[in-house]
Amino acid sequence: MKSNPLLLIALTLGLIMASAPVQADTLKMPPTITANDVKPNLPQPYIVKKDDTLWDIADYFFKDPWKWLKIWERNLYITNPDLIYPGNEIWFDGTRIKQGGLTTVSPRPQVVIKPVERIDGVVDSSIMLAALERQDFISADEIEGMGYVLDSRDERINYGVNDHIYLRLQQSAKQGDLFDVFRTADEVRDPNSGDVAGVLVEHLGQVRVDSNADGVYRGLVVKGFEEISRGDRLKPAKVIDPKIVPSTPDQKLSGNVMYIRNNAKEAGQNQVIGISLGITNGVKPGTALSIYKAGRVVEDKVTGEDVRLPLEKIGRLLVLVPQDRASIALVTSSTQAINIGDAILSYKP
């Protein structure tokens, strides 16, 4: 707290009285406080702030802050700065002026109960960036792209970084536009219905448009992951956010693993898989989900009945690219092999 104005006034009065005689009516105490002395329509309570003085508090409540003398003399507990702390609530009741009128309330700790929420850390950006740069998940009607690689200046068959190539585009482009060069890889099918949910494509590199000459575009290969050839398809370069922060979906989601990269039988940490949850389910880039292994069916030796064991959690994943009814995701952790058909859940069963 700042210095107490009451103490300063007392010291000043002491010095004056010590130096010269004072007539009885020289020092006049403020008249009796009434409700009219309080500022009208005053928001209450007053919250004590760091470095507040008694004068600051009086100036908040009263039209004439000098009348604080009459108030404080009826509220001796509040004249001690050690008994006033930041966060205290001070109320003034004009109907209780004779009793002091002031009431203080000290803040008390409050317990806030919230549901437990798992917060995953940011995924290793280098692994995620490689997964996003080198592949994409597109709908079946996008596999033709919006153009293709026509040829190169020196008639070579394969091209890489810094090679100058020619492009044919179905839509106009301007200098500086970037395109991903891709080839289709695998169709991702729903294991239950057999329907094509999307197509996984491999990115071979990235090309930048330099100019246009009668419908043939000149381009420069600025990134290369694999050799680029004539006929490879083009699509507008995808903007990649390398800092995808995991988020937990608000609703309960239930799906399954429907695809493993390269048509492998098993997947593990840092591998790309396809899941049967998409945009229509509320999935977005960064959605974090859990992977569960279905329990085995065992025979109960006591009853002779077949009993299915509970689901067991075996990993976590992060959605990279969602389509309407499916998504590709990166396995961020796993404790055992992941197989097609394993359950994908947003909740603990």
What are the tens digits of pLDDT across the range 101-147? Answer: 555 555 566 666 666 555 555 556 677 777 778 888 888 889 999 99
pLDDT at 34: 66
- What gap in Å lies between CA 15 and CA 314, rounded to an integer? 82
More confident residue, 263 or 76: 263
Q: By percentage, how much of the chain surpasses pLDDT 70?
A: 73
| End-to-end Cα spacing for the chain | 55
* Closest by Cα among 60, 79, 80 to 69: 79
Distances (CA, A) of 255 to 43, 195, 215, 327, 347: 54, 15, 46, 11, 11
pLDDT at 268: 93
* Closest by Cα among 311, 309, 263 to 291: 311
pLDDT at 158: 94
pLDDT at 16: 38
Do the bridges between strand 272-275 and strand 288-293 make them parallel or antiparallel, or are there none, so unpaired?
unpaired
Please state the separation of Cα 220 from the chain's center in Å.
37
- Could you read off the pLDDT of 170-229 as tens digits, one per residue? 999 999 999 999 999 888 877 677 778 888 899 999 999 999 998 899 999 999 999 999
Among 10-19, 154-163, 307-316, the minimum mean pLDDT is found in 10-19
Distances (CA, A) of 156 to 153, 164, 209: 8, 11, 19
Decide if pLDDT at 69 tops 60: no
Q: Which fold has domain 254-345?
A: Thrombin, subunit H (2.40.10)
Place of tokens 């575009």: 217
More confident residue, 57 or 2: 57
Among 77-86, 231-240, 242-251, the minimum mean pLDDT is found in 77-86
Decide if pLDDT at 29 tops 70: no
pLDDT at 37: 73
pLDDT at 97: 56
